[in-house]
Amino acid sequence: MKDLKKLTAGILAEKLEGLDAADIEKMIETPPDSTLGDYAFPCFRLAKMFRKAPQMIAQEIAEQLAGETAFHEVRNVNAYVNFFMNRAEAEADAVVDVLEKKDEFGRSDLGAGKTVIVEFSSPNIAKPFHIGHLRSTVIGNSINKIYDALGYDVVRINHLGDYGTQFGKMIVAYRKWGSEEDVRREPIKSLLSYYVRFHDEAEKDPSLEDEARATFARLEQGEKEETELWKWFREESLREFTYVYDLLGIEFDSYAGESFYSDKMDRVIDIMNEKGILQESQGAQIVDLSDYNMPPAIIRKKDGSTLYITRDIAAALYRKETYDFFKNIYVVASQQNLHFSQWFKVIELMGFDWSEQCVHVPFGMVSLESGTLSTRKGQVVFLLDVLNKSIERTREIIKEKNVPAEALEQTAKDVGVGAVVFNELSNNRIKDYVFSWDKVLNFDGETGPYVQYTHARASSVLRRTEEDVKALYEGSAVPDMALASSDAAYELMKAVRKFPKIVEEAGEKYEPSVITRHIIDVAQYFNKFYHDEHILVEDREERLARLAVTIAAKQTIKNGLALLGVAAPDRM
Ligand code: ARG
């Protein structure tokens, strides 16, 4: 697509002596509302240069550009020149791009040849995958899709919490009170219950703690029995997590979790010693960070064991060497801000200039509207229960709509899961938010179901006139966009044009909500267009132009939803 701002700047540059197109482009503004045109050029700064009043300059420019075909109108308002682009040309440009690129519309090769790691989800083995984990999972999944669309090679890593002293406790507890059958049937719930029991019993009998420590030590030394049990816990938990990932349509390239780095710690410590940044403190080894206003990073405990932070440092080194990343992104809750600031600083002190390529993408917390999410088990809300409940409720809602019976299950799943994911990605990620069913499943609000429904509505229009649609795709019919240049059509097409830039912006900010909000806009513009204008009119030329607008809207919504990890059903 042509860059219309550049085009405008180029035309202006020909008329304005002493200013080049690049400078002019920087000065051009986007007016707050479309009654003031697509672009505005303020003339205040030209007054000195041309020794004239800014209003006068603006007026002269507007007069000089009156005949330019790139513009529908050039208007002078006070000290501004307002540009109204030639609608048909702008629309046709976008239509050609959409028809040609289809599902690829909005993608670019900005990041060609560069590798970006997106680490997300990263739940803890034998602990529930709760609604809090949902955030990392869906935000991270969307960020990886956005970077992929920008042409980067993306590596999706699930840094499983599968290591640490708690596994000593779990093994002890399992041996005392566990049942193999229960673990096979309900791995996480069973393992969690053993772990809870361990803590209760250890209050009465502190020797259990010693037993757990000794058991963890055996695990660390690779003793067969402990290692096998641990492996089994890991597999069973992963099986349960995978169930959620499948439902969400999420895949990973690597499940190298914390345990993967357990034999890669010595090197980290050697480098720290070489650089002289490791200090002894009460028997532990630490990196002092007081110069940076942070508490010390404890690298190795008194008993020789390493910590969460040590494993993160080892993991970063490994990733740099393995993938030579351009960016290494961590989608982890804002509660861990300090942890990430600490270890990013530590790797900088270790002499790794690529510490700057490590990015923590934090997010706020979800709380529950009281009573909305009932759980069978106390306080923890299991993600799987939330998704299943959403699917169930959606099935009830869409039963009354015109979904064919054989598509009911799939649609209930697409919409039910999509609603939860879309809701997660609607707000600025850093904001805390309250989970509410009414907001998630409202078909008329700014929700997933609303956007999906709009997509299905556009699909249904296109289904009714397959011949025309085919002709447009094949190029045997070229739409005259002047026949669809009403305000409603033009606003919609402007939002379509903007989509590739929106994808870039979302990537720069690590912010999927930029896309969510934009496709809500596209959906709203489309619905306005749909209400204001009859699409399937008798006149073929007019119909083709309006169908082209419909195709562009549908494709933009579909591609936007795909970047969020949300399906775009054709019928709802
Ligand atoms: N497993 C951790 C948790 O559930 C999150 C891991 C975040 N990633 C990291 N590289 N530290 O809290």
**Closest listed residue to residue 345, CA positions, set 361, 328, 332, 358:** 358
Distance CA 114, CA 377 (A): 45
In three-state secondary structure terms, 300 is strand
Q: Is the CB of 122 under 6 A from ligand 1?
A: yes
- What pLDDT score does 1 carry? 93
Task: Please tell me which residue in 5, 72, 133, 320 is annotated as part of the active site.
Answer: 133
- Tokens at 330, concatenated: 């961590």
In three-state secondary structure terms, 430 is coil
Q: Is the CB of 358 under 6 A from ligand 1?
A: no
List, for residues 300-345, the tens digit of each pLDDT value.
999 888 899 999 999 999 999 999 999 999 999 999 999 999 999 9
Please, is 174 exposed, middle or buried when counting C-beta atoms within 10 Å of its C-beta (0-12, 13-18, 19+)?
Answer: buried
Tell me if 4-85 shares its fold with 383-564.
no
Task: Please tell me which residue in 5, 72, 130, 498 is annotated as part of the active site.
Answer: 130
Distance 236 CA to ligand 1 centre (A): 19
Residue minimizing CA distance to atom 5 of ligand 1: 122
Q: Is the CB of 316 under 6 A from ligand 1?
A: no
Per DSSP bridges, beta strands 80-85 and 39-42 are antiparallel
Cα 126–130–134 angle (5° rounding)?
120
- What pLDDT score does 377 carry? 40
- What pLDDT score does 375 carry? 38
**Closest listed residue to residue 433, CA positions, set 365, 483, 359, 524:** 365
Atom of ligand 1 nearest to the CA of 161: 1
Per DSSP bridges, beta strands 366-368 and 433-435 are parallel
- What pLDDT score does 370 carry? 62
Domain 115-262+306-372: which CATH number of 3.40.50.1820, 3.30.70.100, 3.40.50.620, 3.30.1490.20: 3.40.50.620
Q: Is the CB of 312 under 6 A from ligand 1?
A: yes
Distance 332 CA to ligand 1 centre (A): 7
Residue minimizing CA distance to atom 6 of ligand 1: 122
Domain edges within the chain: 4-85, 115-262+306-372, 383-564
- Tokens at 151, concatenated: 């042409």
Q: Is 133 a catalytic residue?
A: yes
Which residues are within 8 A (CB) of 421 and not within 5 positions of it... i.e. 6 or more apart? Answer: 138, 248, 448, 564, 565, 566
The CATH T-level fold of domain 383-564 is Isoleucyl-tRNA Synthetase; Domain 1 (1.10.730)
Q: Is the CB of 330 under 6 A from ligand 1?
A: yes
Residues of the chain with pLDDT under 70: 370-381
Give the CA distances from residue 341 to residues 145, 325, 333, in Å, rounded to whole numbers and listed in that order.
Answer: 26, 19, 13
What pTM was computed for the model? Answer: 0.94
Distance 281 CA to ligand 1 centre (A): 26
Task: Please tell me which residue in 52, 101, 114, 127 is annotated as part of the active site.
Answer: 127
Q: Is the CB of 332 under 6 A from ligand 1?
A: yes
Residue in 120, 121, 122 to alter for ligand 1 test, most ligand atoms within 8 A of Cβ: 122
The H or E element containing residue 77 is strand 71-77
Distance 261 CA to ligand 1 centre (A): 14
Distance CA 73, CA 259 (A): 65
With contact defined as beta carbons under 8 Å apart, do 91 and 546 qualify?
no
Atom of ligand 1 nearest to the CA of 339: 11
Atom of ligand 1 nearest to the CA of 340: 11
Under CATH, to which class is 4-85 assigned? alpha beta
Residue minimizing CA distance to atom 10 of ligand 1: 312
- Tokens at 37, concatenated: 């045109």
With contact defined as beta carbons under 8 Å apart, do 99 and 133 qualify?
no
Give the strands of the sheet with 297-300, arranged side by side: 278-281, 284-287, 297-300
How far out from the chain centre does Cα 48 lie?
46
Residue in 117, 133, 329, 332 to alter for ligand 1 test, most ligand atoms within 8 A of Cβ: 332
Distance 164 CA to ligand 1 centre (A): 12
Q: Is the CB of 309 under 6 A from ligand 1?
A: no
- What pLDDT score does 378 carry? 43
- Tokens at 294, concatenated: 């942070």
- What pLDDT score does 261 carry? 94
Distance 361 CA to ligand 1 centre (A): 12
Q: Is 127 a catalytic residue?
A: yes
Distance 206 CA to ligand 1 centre (A): 29
Q: Is the CB of 159 under 6 A from ligand 1?
A: yes
Distance 136 CA to ligand 1 centre (A): 10
Residue minimizing CA distance to atom 3 of ligand 1: 123
As a whole number of Å, the CA-based R_g of the chain is 29
